[in-house]
Amino acid sequence: MKEFQTLHPHFLHGADYNPDQWISYPEILEQDPEMMAQAHCNCMSVGIFAWSTLEPNEGEYHFELLDSIIENLSAKGVKTVLATPSAARPRWMAEKYPEVCRVDKSGVREIYNTRHNHCYTSPIYREKTAAIDRLLAERYGNNPNVILWHISNELGGECHCELCQQAFRQWLRKKYDNDLDKLNHAWWSTFWSHTVTDWDQIRAPREHGEPDIIMTGLYLDWRNFVTYQTTDFMKMEIDTVKSVNPNIPVTTNLMWLPQPLDLHYLSQFLDVVSWDSYPSWHEPDQVRCAVDTAFNHDYFRSLKHKPFLLMESTPSNTNWQAISKLKRPGMHRLASLQAVAHGSDSVQYFQWRKGRGGSEKFHGAVIDHNGKASGRVFEDVKQVGIALEKLDPICGSKTEAKVAIIFDNKNSWALQNTSGFVNADKKYMKTCLAHYKSFWKRGVDVDIVNTGEDLSAYSLVVMPMLYSTSPEQIRLIEEYVAGGGTAVATYATGYVDETDLCYLGGFPGGKLKDVFGLTADEIDTLYPTDTNSVVWDGNTYPVVDYCELITPSTAQVLGTYGSDFYKGMPALLKNDYQKGTAYYIGCRDTGELSDRLYDQLLKELGITAYDLPEGVTINSREKYFFVQNFSYAPATVNLPGNYRNMETGEICNGCICIDSSNIVVLEKL
Ligand code: GLA
Ligand code: ZN
């Protein structure tokens, strides 16, 4: 299987296209391809929810529409990303085979509704999906205008039907070698006499049953099973389309973090990762939004350490955010090219044309209800298309990050679901973003990696609140630092293993105590009105939410608590461990302390960082640099060396003036 970027070495620009909604408007279907060409679109995702058009009655298939659409698009130079239609099933199927509908957490079987809500275990749903996928693959799998399979859409959710319960039990049998003692131990089930004595007693956490937060080992295993079963369904679709032609790559569009699926596991079966990005731009703290979006882009790129695809974004506003604000002038270009800056090889939208009815009729689209290939939004889209054509040499180039932040959805489930500390919100995601921001604002590229990944390529690895880690993950962190790496961990690191059993013998678990040279004996949680501080080198840094009480073994104390009964006790520590160095921040700072630490570490480690105005950042892909201004004021940045502006062709030195909401793309000479 060749890389997607080798097969299609150009930026994709286009949208979800739903011609099935417009069958009775032939004049519109006729106009669309020409308008797409005018918008400089070269690619459409087709057929995502088209099942009832493709198979209006059981076994009665109609592909005429798709035939003509793919053909007409290609006549205007527009390639097709072809979807399998499994994200929304036709009504007849739910009526005839109720088992395809999900059973919810209260045990009630749904009747036909919405989308994204089928049972992934149901043999009938799998059979019906495979049947239509096979026909699609046979008909279009060798069509040169079809460049990518879009498997289903935004996979997610869970089903509690009896078939799913049985599959869960089978999955557990396999995981625990058919040994209930192992399972009982992993779930600590003698707590409240919950010992399992027969596999058939096991049920997923649900209403009127076991709540998520009581038997946390069961909850985490259920989450892992849901990932497994969702992925298994997706694999069934992938295998079906690939059985006809293995050479068309596959993707599925993933969603904003944190996620209830382990995307690291799921994405290994994709050829190219894609995701749907819907930031709420223009909120008062625009930088927060930019940082959050950047983190997500980096995460999706890092899933395969390769360029990804931005599969959906809105050309103007959404219809589902609490407040569906329009993108201000410049923001469409900036947000679209921000994705490219972080490694995207596409800018795709939801959707091409606003539908007339249904809940998404007021969601932004390239073509509005006025039907015109003109106007502000159309012009914005067209300009992005023109920009992408000029940036074409960048397509396929890689991001070479020296810094990694460990973020893991599994850790997020374990941490958020555990009873203790601050119960309302452990703020795992926010904490990761706060640490990430120190790098973002200095224009330092970061990979967002999973626990359990090889870390040897990085000079610096940050692991905020890595509460849940397996012994194997601990071994990898130890190996990384022992080999010469620099690691930064925080409070709440290494408390539990992968089924939420606490490590015995002191936190952080296992060898992490040696790596960081300390034990974290207790954790104090602060009321929102409480404050504390860390005193480091005579400077005082504010602290909120969490303070650990730490006993160093080999670690050197850099900073101490400023008040309370633990005043003067260690809060910030540094440990030389074999060839590497490990830092431990024992409390939640408000950004200033970690920012100073990272500033120092970047310098010590010789990682290129920039002195940038507030709200400005830089990303790089090999020799290409993307200067982005998310602030509300124009800015000037100074980069070393000479550059060519990729859009204007102008040769310049690195003194760049950049307007608010703009991005400048440079090739280093
Ligand atoms: C998701 C879906 C699309 C559409 C958009 C609207 O990303 O995949 O089908 O509903 O949201 O923003
Ligand atoms: Zn089910």
* Domain containing residue 488: CATH number: 3.40.50.880
Are residues 418 and 389 part of one domain? Answer: no
Say whether pLDDT at 447 is over 70. Answer: yes
Are residues 363 and 505 part of one domain? Answer: no
Classify residue 202: in a domain, yes or no. Answer: no
Are residues 130 and 9 part of one domain? Answer: yes
Are residues 568 and 419 part of one domain? Answer: yes
Classify residue 209: in a domain, yes or no. Answer: no
pLDDT, tens digit, for every residue of 259-305? 999 999 999 999 999 999 999 999 989 999 999 999 999 999 999 99
Classify residue 200: in a domain, yes or no. Answer: no
Of the candidates 585, 574, 555, the residue with the CA atom closest to the CA atom of residue 464: 585
Please tell me the predicted confidence (pLDDT) of residue 4.
82
Classify residue 525: in a domain, yes or no. Answer: yes
Mean pLDDT within 26-38: 98
Taking the whole predicted model, whether its pTM rises above 0.95 is answered as yes
Are residues 349 and 442 part of one domain? Answer: no
Classify residue 211: in a domain, yes or no. Answer: no
Output the CA 203–ligand 2 centroid distance in Å.
Answer: 13
Among residues 605, 625, 653, the one where a domain terminates is 605
Of the candidates 526, 577, 534, 539, the residue with the CA atom closest to the CA atom of residue 556: 577
Contact 494, 512 (CB under 8 A): yes
Classify residue 178: in a domain, yes or no. Answer: no
Of the candidates 331, 229, 239, 349, the residue with the CA atom closest to the CA atom of residue 280: 331
Are residues 474 and 358 part of one domain? Answer: no
Mean pLDDT within 8-28: 97
Q: What is the mean pLDDT of the chain?
A: 97
Say whether pLDDT at 182 is over 70. Answer: yes
Of the candidates 374, 264, 280, the residue with the CA atom closest to the CA atom of residue 323: 280
Separation between Cα atoms, residue 561 and residue 541, nearest integer Å: 10
Are residues 157 and 138 part of one domain? Answer: yes
Are residues 452 and 349 part of one domain? Answer: no
Are residues 408 and 316 part of one domain? Answer: no
Separation between Cα atoms, residue 613 and residue 111, nearest integer Å: 54
Mean pLDDT within 554-574: 98
154 lines ligand 1 (CB under 6 A): yes
Separation between Cα atoms, residue 625 and residue 609, nearest integer Å: 13
Classify residue 171: in a domain, yes or no. Answer: no
Catalytic residues: 154, 312
Which are the contacts of 346, defined by CB distance < 8 A and separation ≥ 6? 11, 12, 13, 43, 274, 309, 310, 311, 339
Say whether pLDDT at 2 is over 80. Answer: no
Query: What domain range is 639 assigned to?
Result: 616-668
pLDDT, tens digit, for every residue of 518-530? 999 999 999 999 9
Residue 267 belongs to domain with CATH number: 3.20.20.80
426 lines ligand 1 (CB under 6 A): no
Element holding 81 (H helix, E strand): strand 79-83
Among residues 554, 577, 605, the one where a domain terminates is 605
Determine which residue's CA is closest to atom 4 belonging to ligand 1.
Answer: 350
153 lines ligand 1 (CB under 6 A): yes
Contact 249, 271 (CB under 8 A): yes
Residue 645 belongs to domain with CATH number: 2.60.40.1180
Output the CA 364–ligand 2 centroid distance in Å.
Answer: 34
Find the largest Cα–Cα distance for the chain.
77
Please tell me the predicted confidence (pLDDT) of residue 502.
98
pLDDT, tens digit, for every residue of 634-655? 999 999 999 999 999 999 999 9
Nearest ligand, measured from the Cα of 116:
1
Among residues 555, 570, 605, the one where a domain terminates is 605
Classify residue 181: in a domain, yes or no. Answer: no
Are residues 144 and 101 part of one domain? Answer: yes
Say whether pLDDT at 607 is over 70. Answer: yes
Range list of H helices, 79-206 = 91-96, 123-140, 162-175, 180-187
Nearest ligand, measured from the Cα of 362:
1
Are residues 592 and 563 part of one domain? Answer: yes
Output the CA 351–ligand 1 centroid distance in Å.
Answer: 8
Tally of domains in the chain: 3
> ω into residue 351 within 30 of 0, thus cis?
yes
Are residues 600 and 620 part of one domain? Answer: no
Residue whose token pair is 């991001």: 399
Determine which residue's CA is closest to atom 7 belonging to ligand 1.
Answer: 276
